[in-house]
Structure 1
């Protein structure tokens, strides 16, 4: 059942406490929102963070979690974290044990205060409406259908208790690949430093050919230094797109490197249908910061020829949850679909086509 109700509990709690509140987490999301709070009628009393000592930073009161006992527990506290790695329920549990009474996610805050903006939206767009019926029509298994409800429920409300637990071990993907008899010839789009290959090897799969595309020069140099035992490799310092082209690209040296108009740096991108592979590709993984659909458009011939297993990240843009499904289905290859939540706060939402 999907809950699409955003109540006014946070606003009411703020009004009862003279618009005073705390943040939990002094990271990039928190700092971005703090800059906006300065021009509002809200009063940030402090930021709690277990990784910082208690001190004042640029006029902001930072409180280490160990010192949080002295704070006013009736003030609302916003978990101001927006990333893959944070278990909101675990943080909520810690704060409840300290006596805090009103704990909200950053998404609940943004839902009730629409003038505030995230620095990196990823899947979060306030006014985006998911076509649940359309998305669900592609899936036959109960697990995927339940995951769709959980994703839309959490993304619509932001309520911490609605945050789905991820399957960090990617059990569904392992089961799909296990049903595949041949050695794997892997195309890794957004290879970073070879994490997907390590996942496959650690899961007991045999990889014959590993073809990796990584446009970030810093990441690519580390990828080149990786030792690949008994595996044929092609390592390409390029991104993947629907044409062969040079585009502006942020070489951040981390997992968030992506195309950006706010930089003068440039990276080369390739259309997969023009690439000469050493072996018949039977597994394609794409996690390329929102360019997944562009990459698929440039790989039509490859996919139609080989019908590989597809592992596609769908969280970077909310519309990808439906648009990528529609595109793959339009190829008329009779793919089966499965959806797995693999990271916290519905960041890792992987579509498996097999």
Structure 2
């Protein structure tokens, strides 16, 4: 079925409000999953004083998980009970549910569990404005993402080009690149292998283990790379950081983190290092908007090309492009999606 832009945005809005209604009413529902995301979802729901739920999984074995009933997918007593899919394998799970003729509502939980934040009319307007600022290809991508988040998983479209290789970006050898969330140098290496060369790269990675691997890569690379063991943020600061290695999205800035890292803003770093960034890539585990706040002057004055992850937080899908457009209305946007799940949606700006 073909939906209009207004219908798509309203669909996501209503889905979000329906989920919050279930939680507010302490309705009975299931959580599909027993991994880290399911455990984190459980913790979040407990904080909401919501405890009227059970767990579902594919595996046979224990019938209790986190002191709640655990049932195998084939033993769902009521196949119309709403389910929260707390797993990165949401598409496969929903296909399995269809195979057993499950008819209930499904709600897909994002990696940082921000789908419980209520959308308002401003969010609807911003998402609609983002949609209408895109070309047809990116409109189709955004439509598929909205439908996926509403449970229509078969609608999800993966972009035909590799991640960060959007053909509209025209990356040249003269670029001064900021790589926020450089990880182990995988993006830098992949771009180089694809024949994309830049003048110099300032690579930021706060995690100890990842930074060591990044330095190892830099030592063998022919590229001019300046590794920085710092996080990108809105200001120069010392912040709590979680280095939970059970999932890549567990390594992030958060108030309950067990260690402290140093952060720097792109504006301040550029000023101190006497550089003018022309290409900024951000995949910083939910800190993208904060990092962009710290790049305000750079974006406003020199309009660098941007490769920004917009999937970690539910509202990043519209709040990040809205913020960038407010800083510099001259930007053109493209959206690419690069995995068959919630993860790896990138906003390309030029």
Short-chain TM bin? 0.7 to 0.9
CA distance 1:262–1:226, shift in 2 (3 Å): same
The normalised TM-score by structure 1 is 0.73
Q: Deviations over 1:107-159 (max 9, x none)?
A: 4xx8xxxxxxx8932455344442233223433x112223333334444xx32
Specify every segment of 5 or more residues in structure 2 that has no aligned partner in the other structure, as ranges.
Answer: 20-26
| Gap change, CA 1:349 and 1:130, over 3 Å in 2 | farther
Shift of 1:170: 3.5
Alpha-carbon RMSD: 3.9
Q: 186, 193, 196: which one pairs with 2:187?
A: 196
Alignment pair present for 1:234 and 2:226: yes
The equivalent of 1:26 in structure 2 is: 34
| SS of equivalent to 1:249 | strand
User: CA, structure 1 residues 293+93, in 2 after alignment: closer, same or farther (shift >3 Å)?
Assistant: closer
1:185-211 Cα offsets, whole Å, 9 max, x none, are 421101122222133134332244221
3-state SS in 2 of match to 1:130: helix
Deviation, 1:63, is 6.9
| Structure 1 contact 246–268 (Cα < 8 Å) conserved | yes
- Partners of 2:93 and 2:163 in 1: how far apart? 25
Q: Structure 1 residues 186 and 124, CA, compared in 2 at 3 Å: closer, same or farther?
A: farther
TM-score by length of 2: 0.73
CA contact (8 A) 2:202 2:226 kept: yes
Q: Give the Å deviation of 1:20.
A: 8.9
For residues 160 and 220 of structure 1, the distance between their equivalents in structure 2, rounded to whole angstroms, comes to 38
SS of residue matched to 1:106: strand
After superposition, the Cα gap between the structure-2 partners of 1:78 and 1:335, relative to the gap in structure 1 and judged at 3 Å, is same
Contact map agreement 1:192 1:219 (CA 8 A) in 2 = yes
Q: How does 1:55-134 map to 2 (within 5 A)?
A: 55-56=62-63, 71=75, 75-76=79-80, 80-82=84-86, 85-86=88-89, 88-97=90-99, 99-102=100-103, 104-107=105-108, 120-122=112-114, 125-128=117-120, 129-131=123-125, 132-134=127-129
Cα displacement (A) at 1:286: 0.9
> What is the CA-CA distance between 1:287 and the residue it aligns to?
1.6
Distance 1:57 1:148, change over 3 A: same
**1:100 and 1:232 mapped to 2: Cα distance?**
56
Among candidates 258, 269, 290, match of residue 252 of structure 2: 258
Q: 1:267: Cα distance to partner?
A: 1.0
1:300 aligns with 2:261: no
Corresponding residue SS for 1:176: coil
Matched residue SS, 1:182 = coil
Alpha-carbon distance in 2 for matches of 1:238, 1:61: 43
Asked whether the equivalents of residues 252 and 285 of structure 2 are also in contact (C-alpha less than 8 Å), the reply is yes
- Name the SS for the 1:225 alignment partner: helix
Distance 2:161 2:93 in 1: 22
- Equivalence for 1:114: none
* CA shift in 2, pair 1:279/1:165, >3 Å: same
Q: How many residues align?
A: 322
**Structure 1 residues 79 and 224, CA, compared in 2 at 3 Å: closer, same or farther?**
farther
- Distance in 1 (alpha carbons) for counterparts of 2:76 and 2:86: 25
> Where does structure 1 lack aligned partners over 5 or more consecutive residues?
12-18, 111-117
Structure whose alpha-carbon radius of gyration is higher:
1
1:350 aligns with 2:341: no
